[in-house]
Copies of this chain bind each other. A is one copy, B any other.
Amino acid sequence: MNTLHQSFSVRFTYDVYFSDRLFESTNPTLLDFLQKHHSEGFRKKLLFILDEGVTTAHPELPDQIKTYFSRVSIVDLIPDLIVIPGGEGSKNDPLLVDQLVEAVDRYGIDRHSYVVAVGGGSVLDLVGYVAAISHRGIRHLRIPTTVLSQNDSGIGVKNGVNYRGKKNFLGSFAPPTAVFNDAHFLATLDDRDWRSGMSEAIKVALIKDQAFFVWLEDNAEKLAARDLEAMQYLVHRCAELHLNHIASGDPFEMGSSRPLDFGHWSAHKLEQLTDFEVRHGEAVAIGIALDSVYSQRMGWLSEADTNRILNLERILGFSLFHPALDGDGVLKGLNEFREHLGGRLTIMLLKAIGKGVEVHEMDPNRIREAIGILKENETQPV
């Protein structure tokens, strides 16, 4: 009997809104969104899940949310706002997945209702995973609260939790229904979280947009001094480049090419080697420095451009070396990345600022050389 060929396309659309103090009674952003998506005959519920780190910095938030929705008649807020621990640790705890799935069941959250996550990248990853697997995918709203989640992970299409310490071993590709970036949350970040998300902006500028890199150089001091307006521009432009990349490429990563993973092969390993003491964005900054110096040693990137990259990172306050780079631990990360990609390595490196180049192998000796240079730089006065 003849073979049947199946072929179809699924269109995914979502908006990323930018606002300030989303839950102030006069802020129309969320209300407008809910009205736009309201349909007669459907009674949509909202189940909020909040990052403990956010409610600690903003203890008034749960009451603000309740007050905001007490005036919204077209949806039902589940009054039990669930608060869960944030940070990478939350992705290691299978009981949290169970707790949230149980809440989806208990409160009868159906495929037309919303699970709303407010928090940093880890909480968004965890909640997004629960929303994706419940009822084969519940509508999911994201309110990212860190630089990293507002400009990178929180606006993308991935979710995931760790399994036996393996990062994002369980997860899926599931676009959110909408993302709301609230600048007010950025103001209360600690200095490390303020800084670390900027490495994804450097990354995307380096592989995609030379002009944005120049803007980062021109505004580096402001950004280092916690200028909120400059940060808002950084987040917006980085988010825009990130979204464009997803839409124009391979959104669900069916192939092997992963250009947005520039600087990430060593970063993932460094996080793991330091038991996540080094945060993701900090590790990415080091990974970018390492792959830039490597690109320069291979003769692809000019020394002047390499120095611009390292200088920008230094002005923003990043360390460009970590003792865990000593030894061959991080080199194992290259093999793990190769395995993760299915046996064939594809790594994004640099030809110039704003111009990436994909390679399929890296020379371990040159990597060691690049690590040595970063180590020497770090211990020398600039």
**Which residue numbers of A lie inside 8 Å of B, CB to CB?**
1-18, 39, 41-44, 101, 105, 108, 110-113, 132-137, 155, 158, 160, 163-164, 166, 168-175, 232, 236, 239-240, 243, 246-248, 251-253, 256, 339-344, 360
With contacts A134-B170, A158-B136 taken as known, whether A6 is within 8 angstroms of B246 at the C-beta atoms is: yes
| A4 CA to B42 CA, complexed, in Å | 27
| A256 CA to B174 CA, complexed, in Å | 19
Partner among B4, B41, B164 whose Cβ is within 8 Å of the Cβ of A15: B4
Q: Name A11's closest neighbour in chain B (CB-CB).
A: B9
Q: Report, nearest first, the 10 A-B pairs whose CB atoms are least far apart.
A: A112-B342, A1-B18, A41-B344, A8-B247, A4-B16, A7-B13, A9-B9, A136-B171, A42-B343, A110-B342
Knowing that A2-B18, A137-B173 touch, tell me 10 more A-B residue pairs with CB under 8 angstroms.
Answer: A4-B155, A6-B175, A8-B247, A8-B248, A39-B344, A42-B344, A43-B343, A112-B342, A133-B133, A136-B253
Most chain B CB neighbours (cut-off 10 Å) among A6, A10, A11, A105: A6
B contact residues around A9 at 8 Å (CB): 9-12
B contact residues around A173 at 8 Å (CB): 136-137
Q: How far is the CB of A237 from chain B (nearest CB, A)?
A: 10
Partner among B7, B133, B341 whose Cβ is within 8 Å of the Cβ of A247: B7
B contact residues around A39 at 8 Å (CB): 344
| A253 CA to B139 CA, complexed, in Å | 12
Q: How far is the CB of A151 from chain B (nearest CB, A)?
A: 11
| A170 CA to B163 CA, complexed, in Å | 18
Most chain B CB neighbours (cut-off 10 Å) among A1, A13, A105, A169: A1
B contact residues around A105 at 8 Å (CB): 163-164, 166, 169
Q: How far is the CB of A166 from chain B (nearest CB, A)?
A: 7
Q: Is the CB of B247 within 8 A of A6?
A: yes
Q: Is the CB of A6 within 8 A of B16?
A: yes
6 contacting pairs across A/B (C-beta < 8 A): A1-B232, A4-B16, A4-B239, A4-B240, A8-B11, A137-B252
| A172 CA to B3 CA, complexed, in Å | 25
Q: How far is the CB of A335 from chain B (nearest CB, A)?
A: 12
B contact residues around A41 at 8 Å (CB): 343-344, 360
Q: Is the CB of A172 within 8 A of B243?
A: no
Q: Is the CB of B339 within 8 A of A108?
A: yes
With contacts A110-B343, A339-B110, A342-B112 taken as known, whether A8 is within 8 angstroms of B136 at the C-beta atoms is: no
Q: How far is the CB of A275 from chain B (nearest CB, A)?
A: 20
Q: Name A247's closest neighbour in chain B (CB-CB).
A: B8
Q: Is the CB of B6 within 8 A of A18?
A: no
Q: How far is the CB of A160 from chain B (nearest CB, A)?
A: 7
| A10 CA to B360 CA, complexed, in Å | 26
B contact residues around A175 at 8 Å (CB): 6
Partner among B172, B256, B342 whose Cβ is within 8 Å of the Cβ of A113: B342
Q: Name A340's closest neighbour in chain B (CB-CB).
A: B110
| A164 CA to B101 CA, complexed, in Å | 11
| A15 CA to B101 CA, complexed, in Å | 34
B contact residues around A135 at 8 Å (CB): 169, 171, 340
With contacts A9-B12, A15-B3, A18-B1 taken as known, whether A342 is within 8 angstroms of B42 at the C-beta atoms is: yes
Partner among B11, B44, B158, B339 whose Cβ is within 8 Å of the Cβ of A342: B44
With contacts A1-B18, A13-B6 taken as known, whether A342 is within 8 angstroms of B111 at the C-beta atoms is: yes
Q: How far is the CB of A232 from chain B (nearest CB, A)?
A: 6
B contact residues around A8 at 8 Å (CB): 11-12, 246-248, 251
B contact residues around A132 at 8 Å (CB): 172
Q: Is the CB of A137 within 8 A of B12?
A: no
